[in-house]
Amino acid sequence: MIMATKTLTVLGDEKAGKKTLIGSLIYKCGLELTQLEALEREGVSQLNEIVPFYEKSSRVLSFYAPSGRIVVEIIESKEPDLAFWVLDAAASMNWRSSAEELRSLLSSGTLQPRERLLILVNKIDGRDLVGWSEHTFTEVVRTFSAANLKTDRAYILPISSLKGDNILGPLEGYSWMNDQSASHPSSSVHVSERSLMDLLR
């Protein structure tokens, strides 16, 4: 059986962890033995070093999801199958401008994902926050809802790209996540109770 190949555009805020996220997905879901050996030979030991290594060696950035192979485009693509918008949970001063920039890309037609847009609230377990902060996530949802993104394909969820939490499997031990969808019934984005990989089915 031939697996489908989908395109993914990764956008978002500076220093929000985009390369760490893609490196994590490649490392966990895309490496073949020869590629792993190449990383080891080059001394690549950090997740955020994988993308630069792939780009330097002209390798295709890709990983495997339940729906098939995902080919990653770090630069903007107008009509990818999927799009990630990554923001830093600890950088609250940037949330509003981040939401407005995303709204502008969508309303102008510059970004038109065919299937889903995933707004990823990264670093929500960061050192400047206390654990997985329900309050922080709620405020991010409110900010992006207020931006009126005008799409029914947007989902928002918290992740930790460095630790891999809520990426391959659901987040455990934080019961407030199960209540988030009900808490934001009028949101213009869908608050996901599912993990990132589950949304890529």
Does 124 count as an annotated binding residue? yes
- In whole angstroms, give the CA distance from residue 124 to residue 52: 24
What ranges do the domains of the chain cover?
Answer: 4-16+67-199
Looking at the predicted structure, is the pLDDT value of residue 33 above 90?
no
In CATH, 4-16+67-199 is 3.30.160.250: no
| pLDDT single digits (tens) 101-143 | 999 999 999 999 999 999 999 988 765 555 677 888 889 999 9
Does 152 count as an annotated binding residue? no
Q: What is the pLDDT of residue 135?
A: 85
Interval 6-16 mean pLDDT: 93
Does 163 count as an annotated binding residue? no
Does 88 count as an annotated binding residue? no
Q: Which range has the worst mean pLDDT, 71-75, 134-138, 142-146, 152-156?
A: 71-75
